[in-house]
Structure formats: structure tokens, C-alpha cells
């Protein structure tokens, strides 16, 4: 025993007992999440149920199931509210803005994350300054600029400012995602003889599918529901997106809440469909580090 003690070997430290899980704290977290879920779902459920009811029934039984499911509310709202034109315009605006932001932010995010650009951190700061400037601060000068270059009351009056306004967030998102990828992948491709474009297109871009899906969802939801920018720059009825078109629909049918609820339901269906189609990729993009700085 003396020989063993003389060697100076320290006895192995006993493992500390793990603290038992705080069940009360976990329950509190779940209760808080359930509370937020209820706050979010109650207005949504009310609108959906109201879309299938007659106007007097909405007042009598706001949260109950409809006595008769009135599918004709959607047909009437569609025809009277000209949703075919408004939805078509929204598809044009949204597709152009999403494509522009995703393409430009992917290129810029890759360059700022993986290329040895001089002063790239300063460039990132300049891009991120766009997140700090509200649209209302340059709304009037931009209006006169679009008027002077004859883009006012055209599709481009919403598309070009929409791309510029959403680009800083898109660059921040894609740069964070690319920084989460191993840099050794690009180095290995360059060693094998690939140029920078081949490295980006064949190696890095396929791995960025979750980040691109998250980007598409963010930009789609913003462009589809954006209200102020098209209201100011696109006032012609034939060019209105659904976000402003539904406002004028409200003004014409203020008392017919069943038609208003049907119109709101029609307007939000595309956003729900896009999220359901891309939700798995969206979650992968967020958990893979798409929001890392």
C-alpha cells in the first residue's frame, strides 16, 4: 500500500451524480409553448370557420362548426373580388423577387463566407446596414426615383425594390449557412482541379439545399404578404397583388364578413402550401446553422 501511495497516482475522481430532470420546469416550457400555439391558432381557426358560414351565423356562433358548409362563399369571393387577377399578379411579383433574392444572396453569401476577399467583413457590415433602415425612411425618395425612370405603375416598381430591400437578410442567411459547411470540401475540389465556379456549382451548392429552402420560404412569405410597398408604387388595379387587392375587397364588402373570411382564406392558401412542401428542408436549414453569423 505504501508503494502504491508513493507513486503519486491520484485516485480516480468519483463521478458526480447527475441532477434529476426538473419536471416542473419542462412542464412550464411546454405550457408556454402551448399558450403561444393557442394564441396563434385561435384567429386562424376563426377565419377558416367563418369562411364557411353565413354572415349572421358568424355573430351568433363565432367558434362553432357551421350549420351548413357554404362552399359558395369561396366562389362568390373569387368572382366578385377578382382574385384570379390579384393572385396572378402576386405569383409574378413573388416568383421574380424570390428568384432574384435567392440567386444574388447565394452568390454573395458564398463569396463572403468561403472566398478570401479583402475587406469582406466590412462588405458584410455594409450589406447588413440595409437591415437597419426601415422602408418608410426612403419610401418617398424611391417613389420619385421610380417615377423619373418611368417604372412607376409597372411590375418592376415592386420587383426591383423588393429584391433590394430583402437582399441584406438573404445575404446574412446564406453566408451563415455556408460558414457552417466544412471548408475542406472546397479545398479538396480545388486540389482535384476544379475552378471556383465548378466548386460552387458541383460541390457546395448541392449541400446548400436546406439553406436555399429556408431562404425560399422566408422570401416567399414576405413577398406574398407585403402590403406597403405595392400600395405606394403600384396603385393601378390591374397590377395589384393579392395583399392590396384584398384591402379594396374589404372596403367594398365591409358588412359581408363571410366573403371577407373566404377572401382571406384564399389569400393565405399559397403560403400554407409552400411551407408544407418545403417544411422538412426548412427545418434542416435552420438546424444546420442557417442562422449562424
187 and 261 belong to one structural domain: yes
The single-letter DSSP state of residue 108 is H
pLDDT per residue of the chain (293 residues) written in tens, 0 to 9: 444 444 444 545 455 555 545 677 788 888 998 998 888 888 888 888 888 988 888 888 888 888 889 898 898 888 888 888 899 999 999 999 999 999 999 999 999 988 888 888 888 888 888 888 888 888 999 999 999 999 999 999 999 999 999 999 999 989 888 888 887 888 888 888 888 888 888 888 888 888 898 899 889 999 999 999 999 999 888 899 998 988 887 777 666 788 888 888 888 888 888 888 877 766 666 665 544 44
144 and 244 belong to one structural domain: yes
46 and 114 belong to one structural domain: no
List the CATH number of the domain containing 213: 1.10.3720.10
Structural domain contains residue 125? yes
Structural domain contains residue 33? no
143, three cell numbers: 417613389
Domain span holding position 62: 39-70
Tell how far CA 120 is from the center of its chain: 26
pLDDT digits (tens, 9 = 90+) for 76-92: 888 888 888 899 999 99
Q: Say which residue the cell 429584391 belongs to.
A: 163
255 and 219 belong to one structural domain: yes
Q: Say which residue the cell 455594409 belongs to.
A: 126
Tally of structural domains, the chain: 2
Query: For residues 179 and 108, what is the distance between their CA atoms, to the nearest angstrom?
Result: 13
Q: For residues 273 and 252, is the Cβ–Cβ distance under 8 A?
A: no
Neighbours of 9 (CB within 10 A): 8
137 and 45 belong to one structural domain: no
Query: For residues 87 and 41, what is the distance between their CA atoms, to the nearest angstrom?
Result: 24
pLDDT at position 233, please?
93
208 and 63 belong to one structural domain: no
Q: For residues 264 and 150, is the Cβ–Cβ distance under 8 A?
A: no
Phi/psi at 44 (5° precision) = -65, -45
Q: For residues 112 and 125, is the Cβ–Cβ distance under 8 A?
A: no
Q: For residues 173 and 214, is the Cβ–Cβ distance under 8 A?
A: yes
Structural domain contains residue 14? no
46 and 90 belong to one structural domain: no
Structural domain contains residue 6? no
Instruction: Look at residues 270, 264, 292, 239 and name the one whose alpha carbon lies nearest to residue 81.
Output: 264
**pTM exceeds 0.95, yes or no:** no
Phi/psi at 281 (5° precision) = -65, -35
57 and 165 belong to one structural domain: no
Tell how far CA 171 is from the center of its chain: 14
Structural domain contains residue 159? yes
Structural domain contains residue 182? yes
Helices (H) and strands (E) in the chain, counts: 15, 0
Sequence-ordered list of residues with C-beta below 8 angstroms from that of 107, at least 6 positions apart, any chain: none
The single-letter DSSP state of residue 234 is -
Amino acid at each position: 500500500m505504501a508503494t502504491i501511495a508513493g507513486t503519486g497516482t491520484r485516485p480516480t475522481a468519483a463521478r458526480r451524480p447527475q441532477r434529476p430532470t426538473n419536471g416542473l420546469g419542462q412542464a412550464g416550457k411546454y405550457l408556454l409553448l402551448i399558450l403561444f400555439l393557442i394564441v396563434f391558432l385561435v384567429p386562424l381557426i376563426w377565419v377558416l370557420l367563418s369562411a364557411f358560414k353565413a354572415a349572421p351565423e358568424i355573430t351568433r356562433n363565432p367558434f362553432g362548426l357551421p350549420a351548413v358548409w357554404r362552399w359558395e362563399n369561396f366562389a362568390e369571393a373569387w368572382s366578385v373580388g377578382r382574385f384570379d387577377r390579384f393572385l396572378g399578379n402576386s405569383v409574378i411579383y413573388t416568383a421574380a423577387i424570390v428568384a432574384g433574392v435567392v440567386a444574388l444572396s447565394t452568390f454573395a453569401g458564398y463569396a463572403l463566407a468561403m472566398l478570401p476577399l479583402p475587406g469582406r467583413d466590412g462588405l458584410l457590415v455594409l450589406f447588413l446596414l440595409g437591415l437597419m433602415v426601415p422602408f418608410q425612411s426612403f419610401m418617398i425618395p424611391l417613389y420619385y426615383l421610380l417615377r423619373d425612370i418611368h417604372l412607376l405603375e409597372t411590375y418592376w416598381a415592386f420587383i426591383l425594390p423588393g429584391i433590394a430591400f430583402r437582399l441584406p437578410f438573404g445575404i446574412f442567411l446564406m453566408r451563415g449557412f455556408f460558414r457552417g459547411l466544412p471548408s475542406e470540401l472546397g479545398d479538396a475540389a480545388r486540389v482535384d482541379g476544379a475552378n471556383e465556379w465548378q466548386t460552387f456549382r458541383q460541390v457546395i451548392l448541392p449541400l446548400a439545399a436546406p439553406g436555399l429552402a429556408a431562404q425560399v420560404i422566408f422570401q416567399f412569405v414576405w413577398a406574398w404578404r407585403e402590403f406597403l410597398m405595392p400600395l405606394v408604387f403600384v396603385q393601378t388595379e390591374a397590377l395589384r397583388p393579392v395583399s392590396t387587392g384584398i384591402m379594396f375587397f374589404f372596403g367594398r364588402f365591409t358588412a359581408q364578413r363571410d366573403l371577407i373570411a373566404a377572401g382571406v382564406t384564399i389569400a393565405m392558401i399559397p403560403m400554407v402550401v409552400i411551407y408544407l412542401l418545403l417544411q422538412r428542408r426548412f427545418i434542416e436549414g435552420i438546424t444546420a446553422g442557417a442562422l449562424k453569423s
